[in-house]
Structure 1
Amino acid sequence: MNFGPSARRLLRRLSPERTRVLAVIGLAVISVVFSVIGPKILGRATDVIFSGVIGAQLPAGISKEQAVQAARASGHDNFADMVAAMDLVPGHGIDFGALATALAWALGLYVAASGFMWLQGYLLNDVTQRTVFRLRADVEDKINRLPLRFFDGQPRGELLSRVTNDIDNVSQTLQQTLSQLLTSLLTVIGVLAMMFVISPLLAMIALVTIPVTMLVTGQIAKRSQKHFVAQWAHTGTLNAHIEEAFTGHELVKVFGRGPEVEQVFRERNDALYKASFGAQFISGIIMPTMMFIGNLNYVAIAVVGAVRVATGSMSLGDVQAFIQYSRQFTQPLTQVASMANLLQSGVASAERVFELLDAKEQEPDPAEPVPAATRRGCVEFEHVSFRYDPEQPLIEDLSLVADPGHTIAIVGPTGAGKTTLVNLIMRFYELDAGRITLDGVDITEMRREDLRSQIGMVLQDTWLFGGTIRDNIAYGNPRATDEEIHAAARATYVDRFVRTLPDGYDTVIDEEGGNVSAGEKQLITIARAFLADPSLLILDEATSSVDTRTEVLVQHAMAALRSDRTSFVIAHRLSTIRDADLILVMEAGSIVEQGTHDELLATRGAYHRLYSAQFSGALVSADEETATSGS
């Protein structure tokens, strides 16, 4: 959307490689100088041949001046002017020695120019790859500094497209355009200088193509620019849809929504096709247009040059060299124009990457963090307020204390703020007001790494990575020994099913854990959290995917492991939190009831309604429940 500023910002990323860039420029200058001198030397070779041909036709034994006078006396003034401008000896043919010398110089210059150009390309490739390497590293570091709120508003496929497709496109653009742009610019300057040396008149004719070229290229590029922006935007949208559809492939099949998914794919694919076609077609007009302008320039130079040779104002070799220079002059302009599509595509991708790099980061850790004095697991909420949407209240003025070693259960309807509560403890989101302390220390005064190292968390949605079962458990504590891993596995009943597998703990599972059941995946994640030995344990519906028998076993294991640590348990199955030391009932971001299981049932309030709905099947309205309570 802003080609100039984005292109300059992209070029500024080359600044750490300024030494290599200067070397690249120096090699390019030497290569172009050698290439530019070549046509002039070849023009000299042409003059040697032409002078020899003309000289052989003149009578031997007379001087050039006598031959010129004889031609004028016979009425051939143009021929006389041409002979007068030539370096020849009447009666002598081609000087093959001088011709060989000129051709040898030309060959040597072209070979040297190619060698320097190859070395320049080698260094430039190194510069480009180092720059893209740093860009990828910066994006990776940036992602780690972004708050969870950023990812909530970004489709995963769109984000992946920026990190992969767009960065690859930037790399390709830098690789294919930097060398060509530099060489083209230097070639235009060098050729233009030689053209003015040979013939200022013809040079002025050639210069007419520059404003015409800039005008044509600018008009076409302006029309194609929006299509390139749309092209990469549609690429990200399509990738987001594909990632979503493939991730939820089973769900799509279950509900028979394949046709709808395919229709959305066709629509987005069609939008990408139209944007890509428009971008490439419009920008592709530049090349044939530039070739047409170049051919008109070539014709004008050939006609004017022929007239000047005929009048003796120029030698044939100079005209031949000038024609070569005119080709060398228009060729880089044409090449630069033809790269407009690649440049616009690369800068459009760079803009998308820069948008990610410019995203607002999470608040930095304090310069002088305060470590927790103890690892007791005492958590206190002091008048905490938080909103995802500034216009929509969620948690307002919430205060509570979780004593060390206690189990705090959080229940309530969907959207009440249960998961938000534990996310605030993890400092995944920043508070709008109030504070949260861990063992008396404000969590904002601690490094996030120190805070989270004291917390073990098991989510409802399991996450396993490609690797062995041992590796997945050890993710909670990379320094753990095999004995500690096996102990955690036995405590969470993972060992029981692992030993039935052919490879045991060395069994390799994929990222989605497709070769183990849903309950087994959950048990592995629980074992991972226990291995971390945290002072604070957070279980967000951690047993939702475990069968009834396994759930009982896991409850016993968690009861033993919770004995010396504070635990927050989010649960919809109220049977799993009967023994909790404190149960918090949340509605609309507020704690409406708190107490033990028996105390809350006795009050016959919100918790009683939830419990009755699960175990008695009595789905009564709030009024009926109130009436029943009153009677």
Structure 2
Amino acid sequence: MARNKFDADEEIEQKFNPHIIMRLAKWIKPYTKWMVLSCVIMLVSSAISLTSPYLTRMAIDKAIPSANYKMLVIIAAVLLFSTLIVRILLAQKLKIMTRVAQKIIVNIRHDVFTKLQSLPFSYFDSRPHGKILIRVVNYVNSLSDLLSNGIIQLISDLFTLVVIIGFMIAIDVKLTMVCMAVLPVLFIILISMKKKQHEAWKQESYKRSNLTAYLSESLNGMKVTQSFAREEVNQGIFNELCQKCKTVWIRAVNINNIIWPSVDILSTLGVTLVYLAGINWLGETVTIGTLVAFAGYIWRFWQPIQNLGNFYNSMVTTGAYIERIFELLDEEDDITDKPGARELPPIRGHVQFDHVDFSYEPGNPILKDVDFTITPGMTVAIVGPTGAGKTTIVNLLSRFYNAEKGKILIDGIDIQELLIKSIRKQVGVMLQDSFLFSGTIMENIRYGRLEATDEECMAAAKAVQAHEFISAFPDGYNTVLSANGGGLSQGQKQLISFARVLLSDPRILILDEATSSVDTHTEKALQQGLGELLKGRTSFIIAHRLSTIRNADVIFFVDHGEIVERGNHNELLALNGHYAKMVSGVFA
């Protein structure tokens, strides 16, 4: 469970594979024609811009010595026009690729969010939510530059290099060989720094993830922090995480910064060698125009080399983030529909647990040989000490987790053979921790049944005794709530959550400590409203209040993952066992 701590690095078990970047092709493919168009624009603009040194050579070696003003004017006009065309083309390319990159980013986010919604509870239980959030936002954002500029720029730079080398060879083969003599040194530097670069940026992703996780946790727990006057301690922890982020960032940037100065130094060295060779080494007469033109091509030759170095840096940096994105997308989802799974037809509410075992972690069983049958319309109360496995039973019924052994059947059908969505549409669940989304109260009640009318939403609220306090707000049902119902009492949040579940009209109703935060007066009124709603509906109620469970048709007392007692209220009292001790207050 070390992954569940904000200060624990989430190590990626598999080694970095450069081919992982090729998986981006899935999202790039739909925009191939636009990327090809951008590539063509870049190639045309590069070809046009590369005529400049050649035209300069003509001006110096031919037009100026012969005082051919007409040729000079034509050359100047061509240079001016080509520069204008290049700028227009580059602006169009930037416009196209910015739009394409953002569309790709949206599609990646869509797939990541879709994956998150299909992952089981165990995934979210095993890590801070901040470490999940950073994957969807920050790491996906890091792909933007790579997609909008990097890929097309790479193709353009490779094309530019080929054309430049062609021009240089056409001008002077020997000078070309001298210019490229320093390239092996650059390749050695790039290869030697690759592993260090990737490791440095991977460490940076670890620390940034930890910082985001702690920030998210701190914001969610701010009331607790202030209640215990922990501000200074938490500030110290945050500062320490920030310092670690700073340290690994600086180290990663310093390693990156070895690359581009190397390119700059080597490019200057290449030009110097060309000048020396042109003046002293070749034993031939080299015209000034040739030397100037060649120098122009040399600088243009090293520009794409430098761009390739920057692209390499970006690829290594982004590669560390892409690993995180694909790690999430590749996360094993064991709560999935089996091939050939079928829709659950309208049910009566017959539920059977057939010798079910379950554990969250291997070797630590939570449920052991749970076996029972519930007929339609029965109300089942599940009681027992904390950690006994009560909530796990109802979570298995909703297929939030899969049973390890045994079967769970609804109306005689193994839930493993059913579509998950079709099960949850007919099984209404109110979890122990009620959660409200930002939006109006009406939108929160309608959350699970979007087609419901306002009147139906209000009827559900009235049934759970929420209508009175909702109507007391100035905006009534249109009152806008902040995240998780800020400003409402815990009891009010639970009543709204109750209305949300009841509106979905489930055939099987699960209430997990649904009345734990409701005051005694409201609970009595709530029980009256629920009396009619529970009729004809199979219900599972997890509660500790005697008033909530005493009228259940059957009560299960669960201890250490087993149903140790079962029967109605009077039958269990007569046993004078665990349940009787709990009722009398002896049970701790």
Q: TM-score range by the shorter chain?
A: over 0.9
Tell me whether 1:284 sits opposite 2:257 in the alignment.
yes
Of stretches 172-181 and 34-43 in structure 1, the one that deviates more from structure 2 is 172-181
Q: 1:364 aligns with which of 322, 333, 336?
A: 336
1:163 aligns with 2:167: no
Q: Percent identity between the aligned chains?
A: 35
> By how many angstroms is 1:371 displaced?
4.0
Contact 2:446–2:452 (CA under 8 A) maintained in structure 1: yes
1:39 lines up with 2:53 in the alignment: yes
CA distance in 2, matches of 1:340, 1:547: 63
- The alignment partner of 1:394 has SS state of strand
| One-letter amino acid of the structure 2 residue matched with residue 388 of structure 1 | Y
Q: Which residue of structure 2 aligns with residue 131 of structure 1?
A: 104
CA distance in 1, matches of 2:108, 2:477: 38
The corresponding residue for 2:553 is 581
Structure 1 position 24 matched with structure 2 position 38: yes
SS, match of residue 483 in structure 2: coil
Q: Is the alpha carbon distance of 1:273 and 1:483 closer, same or farther for their aligned partners in structure 2, counting shifts above 3 Å?
A: same
* Contact 1:378 1:438 survives alignment (8 Å): yes
The CA distance in 1 between the partners of 2:343 and 2:47, in whole Å, is 64
**Cα distance, 1:215–1:12 mapped onto 2, change above 3 Å:** farther
Partner SS state of residue 261, structure 1 = helix
Question: Which digits, 9 at most, give the CA deviation of each residue in 1:369-391, with x for residues without a partner?
Answer: 44445432111111111111122
* Number of positions where the alignment pairs a residue of Structure 1 with one of Structure 2: 574
Q: Secondary structure at the match of 1:382?
A: strand
Aligned to 1:62: none
Q: Secondary structure at the match of 2:356?
A: strand
Question: Structure 1 12/503 Cα, relative in aligned 2: closer, same or farther at 3 Å?
Answer: closer
**Secondary structure at 1:229's aligned position in 2?**
helix
- Map Cα deviations across residues 556-614 of structure 1 (whole Å, 9 max, x no partner): 2222211120110011223321111100011111100001111111111111222222x
1:350 counterpart residue number: 322
Query: What CA distance in whole angstroms lies between the structure 1 residues aligned with 2:536 and 2:154?
Result: 67
**How many Å separate the matches in 2 of 1:317 and 1:111?**
24
Choose the corresponding residue for 1:417, options 374, 377, 389. Answer: 389
**Which residue among 260, 263, 280 is the counterpart of 2:233?**
260
1:248 partnered with 2:262: no
Letter in 2 for 1:34: I
Match of 2:348 in 1: 376
Task: Output the amino acid matched with 1:29.
Answer: L
Change (3 A) 1:221 1:368: closer
Give 2:9's aligned residue.
Answer: none
AA aligned to 1:141 is: T
Local SS of the residue matching 2:114:
helix
Match of 1:395 in 2: 367
Per-residue CA deviations over 1:190-237 (Å, capped at 9, x if unaligned) read: 111111111111100111232111212332343222111111121111
Give SS of 2:353's match: strand
AA partner of residue 40 (structure 1): Y
Work out whether 1:219 is the aligned partner of 2:233: no
- SS of 1:537 mapped into structure 2: strand
Partner of 2:485 in structure 1? 513
- Tell me the CA shift for residue 182 of structure 1: 2.7
Q: TM-score, normalised by structure 2?
A: 0.93
**1:207 paired residue among 160, 176, 180:** 180
Cα 1:369/1:217, change in 2 over 3 Å? closer
Task: Name which of 467, 470, 477 aligns with 1:498.
Answer: 470
1:433 and 2:405 equivalent?
yes
Question: Larger radius of gyration, structure 1 or 2?
Answer: 1
TM-score normalised per structure 1: 0.87
What's 2:157 paired with?
184
Alignment-mate amino acid for residue 18 of structure 2: G
1:491: how far off?
A: 1.0
Q: 2:581 aligns with which of 591, 609, 625?
A: 609
Say yes or no: does 1:232 pair with 2:205: yes
Map Cα deviations across residues 407-433 of structure 1 (whole Å, 9 max, x no partner): 100011111110000000000111112
Match for residue 407 of structure 1? 379
Q: In structure 2, what residue type is equivalent to 1:332?
A: P
Q: Check the 8 A contact 1:370/1:441 in 2, yes or no.
A: no
Q: Which moved more, 1:549-558 or 1:299-308?
A: 299-308
SS at match of 1:191: helix
> Residue 131 of structure 1 aligns to which amino acid in structure 2?
I
Give the AA of the match of 1:297.
G
CA distance in 2, matches of 1:343, 1:366: 38
Residue 104 of structure 2 aligns to which amino acid in structure 1?
A: T
Query: What amino acid does structure 2 have at the position aligned with 1:481?
Result: T
Say whether residues 1:556 and 2:570 are aligned partners.
no
Q: Closer, same or farther in 2 for the Cα pair 1:457/1:12, shift >3 Å?
A: closer
Distance 2:491 2:337 in 1: 37
Secondary structure at 1:301's aligned position in 2? helix
The yes-or-no answer on 1:2 pairing with 2:44 is no
Measured at CA, do residues 371 and 18 of structure 1 come closer, stay the same or move farther in structure 2, by a change above 3 Å? Answer: closer
- The partner residue of 2:435 within 460, 463, 467 is 463
Q: Which amino acid aligns with 1:46?
A: I
Alignment match, 2:5: none
Which range moves more in the overlay, 430-439 or 414-423?
A: 430-439
1:24 partner amino acid: S
Amino acid in structure 1 at the alignment position of 2:448: G
**Alignment partner of 1:97 is 2:97:** no
SS at match of 1:347: helix
Paired AA for residue 184 in structure 2: P
2:314 equivalent to 1:303: no
TM-superposition CA deviations, 1:69-99 (whole Å, max 9, x none): xxxxxxxxxxxxxxxxxxxxxxxxx111121
Moved more, 194-203 or 277-286: 277-286
Say which SS state the counterpart of residue 583 (structure 1) adopts.
strand
SS at match of 2:485: coil
Moved more, 348-357 or 168-177: 168-177
CA positional deviation for 1:183: 2.6
Q: Which residue identity does 1:243 align to in structure 2?
A: S
CA drift of 1:535 comes to 0.6
Shift of 1:548: 1.1
Measured in 1, the distance between the counterparts of 2:77 and 2:284 equals 28
Quote how far apart the aligned CAs of 1:21 are: 2.5
Q: Deviations over 1:448-486 (max 9, x none)?
A: 111111111112211111111111111132111122111
Q: Distance in 1 between matches of 2:309 and 2:345?
A: 66
